[in-house]
Structure 1
């Protein structure tokens, strides 16, 4: 029965490209224009995004939030891209795309959007730092992956709230990790759910694959380093949030995989977790 339920759910996911507030073609063009090898100008990026005036307004609202700490207000997307960088504009657009999905469904009472976004942002920030510390992967891309890594949990809560609640209660009652509870419930996990949705948005493999394998990074066929960094960032942020929970031991055990010092990882993570701006930004997205 569980296999049938998850298969029906997985079959629905590619159609979620139709639920984006903007065309996936816009997103694909934006990724091409903001890629590391792109020669696109700030004006061209602004022109791509200005085709959706509502999106432009929301981009500027987040760009001018306390999270970025700008000295003066930016009033155009090209100016925001010049000040923040094209990668940050891309992240804002993705966050707005995910945010828009949450307006379409009622979420379970136990699902906190504020906590969800705060975790995504902190994992992105930790992944970016760990990438710089290890010289593995692209720090900007890894922030993006961190921002998206648990989107499968959100999609499950939106589209299968009763199953999400069963999984949530099972994890609490039996002290399981979320991925373990998901596997026991229906033989799959949120990482696969998220990667299928993001693939339907035509995001590149360097983003979708680390999302898919962030609980089993050794299985990633082409992006195992990036998957390991996201795995460690996820563990470390959870460990900082719950020093008595299982993630502290998981973080310590995983650090040697990336030749990283456990104390340094936890010190870096603790500094990130203290950011009040992250909480403020999460509230804007929630």
Structure 2
């Protein structure tokens, strides 16, 4: 029998999920102050041995690429080598990958999230908006599905079966039939409960809209998922955006008649690389 969930139930049952990584909010809060961000990020990294190991590994790879024989162990030097932007990317990706795994989602969920995060980042270059916010929006855009799978796994599988039996069925319609709410609405409620910035909440809520609000972060998230679907970067996702919003294109100044082969190549290459690094 289909569920008829209320919004209050979403928040109550969110306790079944692992604790949302506070490092995400801590990073977003420091974006406007590069000097504060450096010291704060290094402190965050050094508190987590997994992230520390990943940062040092990538920094050492950069050293080896320069043909310098050196076992790098100093975090300050490591950050100076890989850069602040790359450091934020590592911290965000590792933290959210861990959150996804602890929530019980398969690797396909994380592969798709990384691909959309990368696509949103690359599109943010065109739209001149924050790369870090774009990455977070892409990584978290389908967070409502994670709640569905953890809290109501049977209904979650029924949605998947419905999509397989009727390939033209829209994912949101299937979810509303089985849950009473779609993953965009559930994602908005979770992101609000986690005190994420309003811009990130809006991107999560509206990334499937045919006519989304005219906002750059919504646009890069919406188009990022559409591009990932078109490039067929990962083949397990049923929640792909099946249309391209004209509003989103206008907001970013994108005309698809232009040559985007270089952009698509970067998205595909970076997605596969990050998936390999953070898996």
TM-score normalised by length of structure 1:
0.74
Given the superposition, is the C-alpha separation of residues 268 and 66 from structure 1 closer, same or farther in structure 2, using an over 3 Å criterion? farther
1:141 pairs, out of 117, 130, 133, with: 133
2:224 pairs, out of 226, 230, 233, with: 233
Given the superposition, is the C-alpha separation of residues 49 and 224 from structure 1 closer, same or farther in structure 2, using an over 3 Å criterion? same
Offset of residue 201 of structure 1: 3.4
Given the superposition, is the C-alpha separation of residues 75 and 154 from structure 1 closer, same or farther in structure 2, using an over 3 Å criterion? farther
1:11 aligns with: 12
2:278 aligns with: 285
Q: Per-residue CA shift, 1:205-240, capped at 9, x if unaligned?
A: 2323212221127555xx723212211111121012
Structure 1: segments with no counterpart, 5+ residues: none
Given the superposition, is the C-alpha separation of residues 36 and 142 from structure 1 closer, same or farther in structure 2, using an over 3 Å criterion? same
Distance 1:106 1:17 in 2: 9
2:45 pairs, out of 49, 73, 80, with: 49
1:92 pairs, out of 90, 93, 96, with: 90
Distance 1:198 1:74 in 2: 37
Contact map agreement 2:155 2:179 (CA 8 A) in 1 = no
SS of aligned partner of 2:244: helix
Q: Per-residue CA shift, 1:53-96, capped at 9, x if unaligned?
A: 444334444x45989x9647753444444334434333333333
Distance 1:39 1:147 in 2: 25
Given the superposition, is the C-alpha separation of residues 189 and 81 from structure 1 closer, same or farther in structure 2, using an over 3 Å criterion? farther
1:161 aligns with: 153
Match runs of 1:109-120 below 5 Å: 112-113=106-107, 115-120=108-113
Q: Per-residue CA shift, 1:95-147, capped at 9, x if unaligned?
A: 3333223443544xxxx41x333322232222223222233x32332123112
Distance 1:4 1:16 in 2: 16
2:28 aligns with: 31
Aligned residues: 268
Offset of residue 270 of structure 1: 3.3
Distance 1:100 1:30 in 2: 17
Structure 2: segments with no counterpart, 5+ residues: none
Distance 1:246 1:264 in 2: 27
SS of aligned partner of 1:142: helix
Contact map agreement 1:105 1:159 (CA 8 A) in 2 = no
Distance 1:74 1:229 in 2: 36
Given the superposition, is the C-alpha separation of residues 44 and 212 from structure 1 closer, same or farther in structure 2, using an over 3 Å criterion? same
TM-score normalised by length of structure 2:
0.75
